[in-house]
């Protein structure tokens, strides 16, 4: 089974042809998709899409870009919504590249998500950009207080964060960035990711892989990501599919495995 572990199907880029995008994904063999909530205030359309499609599940959370809009977010705001087809907490984390929200707000909201992940047992879907040292420190400090599942999505950070997160049992997802010509540093980290803890994603509508780079990304492009992962790791396509499928269901264990 091909699984796209991170899609943004409620993004405005899909407003006019969402059903066609989902149909194209199914046509190329995408058997399951996890659509992501980027703001708790916009959660209902995410849940509705998952409820309407047996092969789509969802998360609940607020992206670090949007942290400034949810300064009163509570753990209960997340845990009260974390049922049914909700199988992840996030996307959350730190983004010190764009700094669309103040850093102290990003940190505070991130900690709320961590507490919700610990309480629910659902994986924490983590976005980290230009914040490696602080991200590693927060994850280590919080894991010492009590375990929770970690997914570092669309991993493009450095080897030190990867090593420290792997020591905490973190999983990693590989996106179309791995196909970019200038991303050899990303590929080097992927080569050293822990066996059994690697999954794949498109992060659509963003980050279309080569040879679709520059276009709106969609789940139907996932096979290009999987092929690059197989090449990087020295796996056959069948091995890459099996490895990423097994890892996905180990991490998102609330989803019944077909």
Work out the average pLDDT over 217-232. 98
* pLDDT of amino acid 69: 87
Q: Is-above-0.95 flag for pTM?
A: yes
Tell me the pLDDT tens digit for each residue of 46-89. 999 999 999 999 999 999 999 998 899 999 999 999 999 999 99
The number of beta carbons lying within 10 Å of the beta carbon of residue 257 is: 12
Q: Distances in Å between the alpha carbon of 142 and those of 115, 118, 137, 161?
A: 9, 10, 9, 15
Q: How far apart are CA 239 and CA 142, in angstroms?
A: 34
**Unique residue bearing structure tokens 């264990």:** 253
Instruction: Please give the distance of CA 123 from its chain centroid, rounded to a whole number.
Output: 10
Sheet with 124-129, edge to edge strand ranges: 2-7, 30-35, 56-60, 86-95, 124-129, 150-152, 171-174, 198-200
* Architecture, CATH, for domain 2-251: Alpha-Beta Barrel (3.20)
Q: Give percent of the chain with pLDDT exceeding 70.
A: 100
What residue ranges in 65-146 does DSSP mark as E strands? 86-95, 124-129
Give the DSSP H/E element, type plus range, for residue 247: helix 237-251
Q: How many CA atoms lie within 13 A of 12 on its CB side?
A: 0
Residue 154 structure tokens:
């669309």
Structure token digits, residue 75: 């753990």
Residue-wise pLDDT tens digits, 177-187: 999 999 999 99
Angle at alpha carbon of residue 175, lines to 239 and 257, rounded to 5°: 50
Residue 126 banded pLDDT, cuts 50, 70, 90: very high
Task: Report the 10 Å Cβ neighbour count for 17.
Answer: 13
* Class of residue 80 by CB neighbours under 10 A (exposed 0-12, middle 13-18, buried 19+): exposed
Coil, strand or helix at 129: strand
Residue 116's Cα: distance from chain center in Å?
A: 17
Q: Is residue 256 classed exposed, middle or buried when 0-12, 13-18 and 19+ CB atoms within 10 A define those classes?
A: exposed
* pLDDT interval class at 91 (50, 70, 90): very high
């Amino acid at each position: 089974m091909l699984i796209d572990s991170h899609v943004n199907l409620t993004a405005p880029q899909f407003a006019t042809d969402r059903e066609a995008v989902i149909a194209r994904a199914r046509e190329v063999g995408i058997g399951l998709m996890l659509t992501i909530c980027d703001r708790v205030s916009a959660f209902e359309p995410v849940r509705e899409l998952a409820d309407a499609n047996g092969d789509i599940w969802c998360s609940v959370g607020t992206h670090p870009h949007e942290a400034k809009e949810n300064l009163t977010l509570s753990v209960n705001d997340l845990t009260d919504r974390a049922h049914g087809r909700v199988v992840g907490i996030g996307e959350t984390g730190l983004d010190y590249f764009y700094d669309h929200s103040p850093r102290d707000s990003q940190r505070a909201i991130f900690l709320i998500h961590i507490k919700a992940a610990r309480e629910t047992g659902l994986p924490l879907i983590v976005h980290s950009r230009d914040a490696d040292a602080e991200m590693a420190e927060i994850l280590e400090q919080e894991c010492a207080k009590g375990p929770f599942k970690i997914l570092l999505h669309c991993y493009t950070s450095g080897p030190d964060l990867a090593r420290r997160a792997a020591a905490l049992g973190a999983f990693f997802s590989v996106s179309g960035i791995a196909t970019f010509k200038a991303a050899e540093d990303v590929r080097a980290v992927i080569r050293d990711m822990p066996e059994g803890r690697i999954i794949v994603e498109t992060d659509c509508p963003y980050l279309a892989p080569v040879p679709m780079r520059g276009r709106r990304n969609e789940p139907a492009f996932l096979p290009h990501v999987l092929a690059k992962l197989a090449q990087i790791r020295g796996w056959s396509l069948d091995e890459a599919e099996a490895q990423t499928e097994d890892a996905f269901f180990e991490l998102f264990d609330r989803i019944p495995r077909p």
